[in-house]
Amino acid sequence: MKLKVFNFAIIFLLSIVLWVVGPQPLFAQQTLYPSHFVVGNPYSNFDLSPDGRKVVITDNSLRQTRVLIKSVDPNTADRFLDINDARPLAAQWATNERLIVPVMTVTDMKLPKGIYAVHDNKRDKYLRNIVTARMPAIDEDGSNPVMMFEKTSKALQLNINLAQLVSPLIKDPDHIIMSAFDKTLGVYKVNIQTGKAKRLSAGRSDTRAWHVNPDGIPNMRIDARDDFRKARVYARLDGTKRWKKIKTIEHQDIRGIIPLPAMDDPNAFYIAARPDGQDRTGIYHYYPDNGRFGDPVFTHPNYDLDSPVFSASGDYMGARYIENRKIYDSQNDVHTQAMARLRLELRDDISVDILDTSDDMSVWLISLSGPTEPGRVAIFNIKTAALTTIHIINSKLKPKDLTVPKPVNFTARDGTPLSGYLTRKNGVAASAPLIVMPHGGPESRDYWSYDLIAQYFVSQGYQIFQPNFRGSSGFGEAFVKAGHREWGGLMQDDITDGVQHLIATGQANQGNICIAGSSYGGYAALMGAVKTPALYNCAVAINAPSDFGRYD
């Protein structure tokens, strides 16, 4: 709801400013309004059952969050799971009949002997009205609820959060792997039928996270101090007991760790990394015994790795990178053939995100999005090539209402090749008002995605330019670092050079241009008005950092 209001506010603000300072585009039959683009999305956290026949969804359409179970068979009615008074945060299939559901609940927590709280100037053995997170397992019909860690030590019961799932276990569906704090953050094997937990490994005083292999054996541990700026990664190969520190990384790089044994080498892990001497992130073999990177499993000459792709059982399937849309480099015959058949059902601008798969990989739960697709969740059956939609985020818009951006390549004043996207609706002249929209971050990038603000203004006859200036991510480390300490410098010049390219090639008219953005894009809008005031008729900055003296 807050995001919906925020998007309405941005559209309203931009519309007012553009109406005041610039000529309105003459575009007949303007039948689309902000309400067509800004819609609520009550569904989240989709998860596919192991047999691929059911999907569980978090439903926020009412004031009380609910868990919705939807069958892939359209002839089977939807049903809701009763969680009593607890508020579900998500839901996930543990087996074909049983779910684990992290919930938020308010409870009175009994303190250890000799420790008291104070309420109304009186000693109390309980902490009152404490918000906690817990993880019940429950059958899909609402029967047999059992709380994870239910029969464990009092120290564990004092955890505010006892809902930290590390991994399900495909080979042992009656158990899951969880982490919990008992003096240190340990990792536990928990029975979803009884709630009983067995500790597999105890962490150190500064342990923050655990990973396990597909058999549920802890194989990687991440330690970090309280400031969490740096994290130390420890690993051990299957069959060994000794933990070995493999590297110290920045906190934001933790997601690059892939603690799965390499299928073709028992002495190595797969790791997403950028080894010394390499410019782009890829997937590599990593040997923890000597800290050596082996041969690359995946690299791309132009783009960073976006995401690795593994099967539910942990087998490497391929990698994904972003060109104009998300593209899969499949290294598995089944995955290659399935993706090829799926692409036949989709428009070229649509990206695919694989949310989940059945255990046998025959059914995929996927998310589809792109400039002409505001968002759709679907089931893809590999055997039949049937694509079945189960949720549409915005049914008010049709593909004909939306426009695919045109890739634009240009050269900066110092010779650096750059790129961006120009979005203009068919039938709109190049003389139409241009809105320059630098992205936020600044370490992010624009590509073929659904941008409701850009699409709204394009539908009203404006054209939108979104440049990927130096400092943008996805194009390698050198391109990112070229933007370091260049706020208002080379990064701003890149935006200016992109606009000048459009003017020089007859794709925009000087004197009819506005620059607008949020976060770093808002800073770039303000700096555009400062450095090149003659280039822009207006500048709109939203949530823009502007007073850097306060950060000294």
Query: Of the candidates 169, 193, 189, which has an alpha carbon nearest to the alpha carbon of residue 178?
Result: 189
Q: Please give the Cα distance from 50 to 175 (Å, whole number).
A: 14
Residue 56: phi, psi to the nearest 5? -105, 140
The DSSP code for 549 is G
> How far, in Å, are 50, 494, 519, 521, 549 from residue 546 at the CA level?
50, 20, 10, 11, 9
- What does the block give as tokens for 216? 């549920």
- Given strand 136-139, what is the order of strands in its sheet? 92-93, 98-100, 136-139, 146-147
Q: Please give the Cα distance from 495 to 472 (Å, whole number).
A: 12
Q: Do the Cβ atoms of 101 and 88 come closer than 8 Å?
A: yes
Query: Of the candidates 316, 323, 315, 313, which has an alpha carbon nearest to the alpha carbon of residue 298?
Result: 316
Q: Do the Cβ atoms of 465 and 478 come closer than 8 Å?
A: no
Q: Do the Cβ atoms of 253 and 273 come closer than 8 Å?
A: no
Query: Of the candidates 145, 47, 141, 64, which has an alpha carbon nearest to the alpha carbon of residue 97?
Result: 141
473 HSE (CA, 13 A, CB side): 10
- The full DSSP string for 93-140 is ESSSSEEE--EEEEEEEEPPTT--EEETTEEESEEEEEEEEE-EEEET
Query: Of the candidates 103, 99, 102, 83, which has an alpha carbon nearest to the alpha carbon of residue 193?
Result: 99
Which residues have a Cβ under 8 Å from the Cβ of 304 and sit 6 or more positions away? Answer: 280, 281, 282, 321, 473, 474, 475, 476
Would you give per-residue pLDDT tens digits along the chain (552 residues)?
A: 555 555 656 665 566 556 554 555 655 455 888 889 988 889 999 999 999 999 999 998 877 789 999 999 888 999 998 777 788 999 999 999 999 999 998 888 788 788 888 888 888 888 888 888 999 999 999 999 999 998 777 778 888 899 999 999 988 999 999 999 988 999 999 999 999 999 999 989 899 889 888 888 898 888 987 766 778 888 887 667 788 887 776 655 555 555 566 666 777 888 888 888 899 999 988 887 777 888 899 999 999 999 999 887 778 899 999 999 999 999 888 899 999 999 999 999 999 999 999 998 999 999 999 999 999 999 999 999 999 999 999 999 999 999 999 999 999 999 999 999 999 999 999 999 999 999 999 999 999 999 999 999 999 999 999 999 999 999 999 999 999 999 999 999 999 999 999 999 999 999 999 999 999 999 999 999 999 999 999 999 998 988 876 655
Count helices and strands (H / E) in the chain: 8, 38
Q: What is the pTM of this model?
A: 0.88
